[in-house]
Amino acid sequence: MDLTLTDEQRLLYDQISRFATDELNDPDGSAAGERAFPSARWQKAGEMRLQGLPVPEEYGGAGLDPLSTAIALEALGYGCRDGGLVFAICAHLLACVVPIWKHGTDEQREKVLPGMCNGSRIAVNGMTEPGTGSDAFGMKTHATKHGGGYVINGTKTFSSNGPIADLAVVYASTDRDKGYHGGITAFLIEKNTDGFRTGQVFQKMGLHSCPIGELVLDNVYVSESAVIGKVGAGAAIFAESMDWERACLVASHIGTIEWLLQHAVEYARTRKQSGQTISKFQAVSHRIVDIKVRLEAGRFLTYKAASGLNRPRTASMDASIAKLFVSESLVTSAIDTLRVFGGYGLMEDYGIERIVRDSIAGIIYSGTSDIQRNIIARWLGLL
Ligand SMILES: Cc1cc2nc3c(=O)[nH]c(=O)nc-3n(C[C@H](O)[C@H](O)[C@H](O)COP(=O)(O)OP(=O)(O)OC[C@H]3O[C@@H](n4cnc5c(N)ncnc54)[C@H](O)[C@@H]3O)c2cc1C
């Protein structure tokens, strides 16, 4: 497999990493104010159509193929030091924009995609519930047929962008007997619909600028036109969006690991202890070499997974392999970089402690590492 970027892909990477570096960071690179959602930067990202990278231009997107989408997100992860903003963009794009683009009606696409792609609207994906995380399809949220539409009741949790979102992609059970196969339906719901509100808002470890909370649906009535795809097709729609999320979100991690590597090398070559640069200590150089090896292996797995998104046969396994390896690699590489920096690694000015905090969530969201192993085991015929 040839992983050489085309001239267009190289240009795309350079353009987005420069934009992210210049426009999406605090001038001093500090973590100050990191708890607030950066609305102005979200809108700037929208002007670059980062929220609509793979969406056809007729719906306001950038019309990129899946691999180029991953390369653009890698550049974003390299340039933008606000992991919360990168995650907010990815959650919106991969778990909300993608299912609407792929499965929405023409009317839904025309109505919501342009605003979702240009940064004027923020979306949330509601799948997880207080009692069902890894076992997502055991959900209690139910949509009951009523007149020409559905009445939906339930509570979703850990919904990224939930507290600030304008619209939601919500999964609900429409036939409890059918369960996963035909019993789950995806709905597109405007946040200002009667009975739909934000519940508890959580303060979490890392990714601070991406707010997260509950979505409460209390007798929310939607017409049939709110169904995304077919009634009962929700599980397949969710699974496909998770393939996109797993393959492309970790592309942003690859960009972050590249940033960590560059900073670890630079620091090790200048910091002196015992009369020599710390790069001469094998304990330090080998630690940095391990970051490089993870970066190269992770990039290969990510590009392979992203290239395969249009080939559904093995897309899920490749996406899970990439997600498992890269999310774990980001945690290890962030902590390894912190070790290279010694005490300075813990100081906010260096930006590394923030990446350590931001990285941990990656081994939980989009399915924990245990769940990725389960998916891969299933593909191997072990379960
Ligand atoms: C930062 C962040 C953002 C998120 N954003 C969203 C979002 O936008 N929308 C949304 O719907 N959800 C979101 N989530 C929820 C996320 O998908 C769930 O947290 C995740 O799937 C795990 O579910 P849980 O937290 O209920 O843990 P549990 O499922 O209760 O798991 C607890 C532990 O048991 C293990 N475990 C559970 N089942 C199995 C099994 N079958 N085999 C092996 N081990 C198992 C898990 O690996 C874990 O170690 C987000 C979570 C985080 C942390």
Can you give the pLDDT of all 383 residues of the chain as single tens digits? Answer: 777 899 999 999 999 999 999 999 987 655 556 789 999 999 999 999 999 999 999 999 999 999 999 999 999 999 999 999 999 999 999 999 999 999 999 999 999 999 999 999 999 999 999 999 999 999 999 999 999 999 999 999 999 999 999 999 999 999 999 988 899 999 999 999 999 999 999 999 999 999 999 999 999 999 999 999 999 999 999 999 999 999 999 999 999 999 999 999 999 999 999 999 999 999 999 999 999 999 999 999 999 999 999 887 789 999 999 999 999 999 999 999 999 999 999 999 999 999 999 999 999 999 999 999 999 999 999 99
CATH of domain 7-121: 1.10.540.10
With 0-12 CB in 10 A as exposed, 13-18 as middle and 19+ as buried, what is 265? middle
Contact 171, 139 (CB under 8 A): yes
Atom of ligand 1 nearest to the CA of 204: 1
**Domains of the chain, residue spans:** 7-121, 124-234, 235-379
Regarding the beta carbon of 123 and ligand 1, being less than 6 Å apart is answered no
For residue 9, give the nearest of 70, 58, 56 by alpha carbon.
70
Q: Which residue from 97, 140, 158, 170 has its CB within 8 A of the most atoms of ligand 1, so it is best to mutate?
A: 158
Q: Whose CA is nearest to atom 23 of ligand 1?
A: 133
Q: How many CB atoms lie within 10 A of CB 24?
A: 23
Instruction: Give the nearest ligand 1 atom to 369 CA.
Output: 47
CA 87 to ligand 1 centroid distance, Å = 16
Ligand 1 pocket check: which of 205, 365, 378 to mutate, most ligand atoms within 8 Å of Cβ?
365
Does residue 374 line the site of ligand 1, with CB under 6 A? Answer: yes
Ligand 1 center to residue 128 CA distance, Å?
8
* DSSP-based three-state secondary structure for 206: coil
Classify residue 360 as exposed, middle or buried by CB count within 10 Å of its CB (0-12, 13-18, 19+): middle
Q: H or E element: which one contains 273?
A: strand 272-273
Kind of pairing, strands 123-126 and 167-173?
parallel
**What is the CA(12)–ligand 1 centre distance, in A?**
33
> Which of 86, 124, 128 to mutate for ligand 1's pocket (most ligand atoms within 8 Å of CB)?
128
User: What was the pLDDT predicted at 32?
Assistant: 59
State the closest ligand 1 atom to the C-alpha of 161, by its place in the atom list counted from 1.
8
**Residue 30: predicted pLDDT:** 59
Q: Is 245 a catalytic residue?
A: yes
Tell whether ligand 1 has an atom less than 6 A from the beta carbon of residue 159.
yes
CA of 30 to the centre of ligand 1 (A): 30
What homologous superfamily does CATH list for 124-234? Butyryl-CoA Dehydrogenase, subunit A, domain 2 (2.40.110.10)
* 361 Cβ inside 6 Å of ligand 1: yes
What pLDDT is stored for residue 31 in this prediction?
Answer: 56
> Is CATH 3.40.50.740 the right assignment for the domain spanning 235-379?
no
Q: Residue 367: CB within 6 Å of ligand 1? A: yes
Q: Which two tokens stand for residue 10?
A: 């190289």
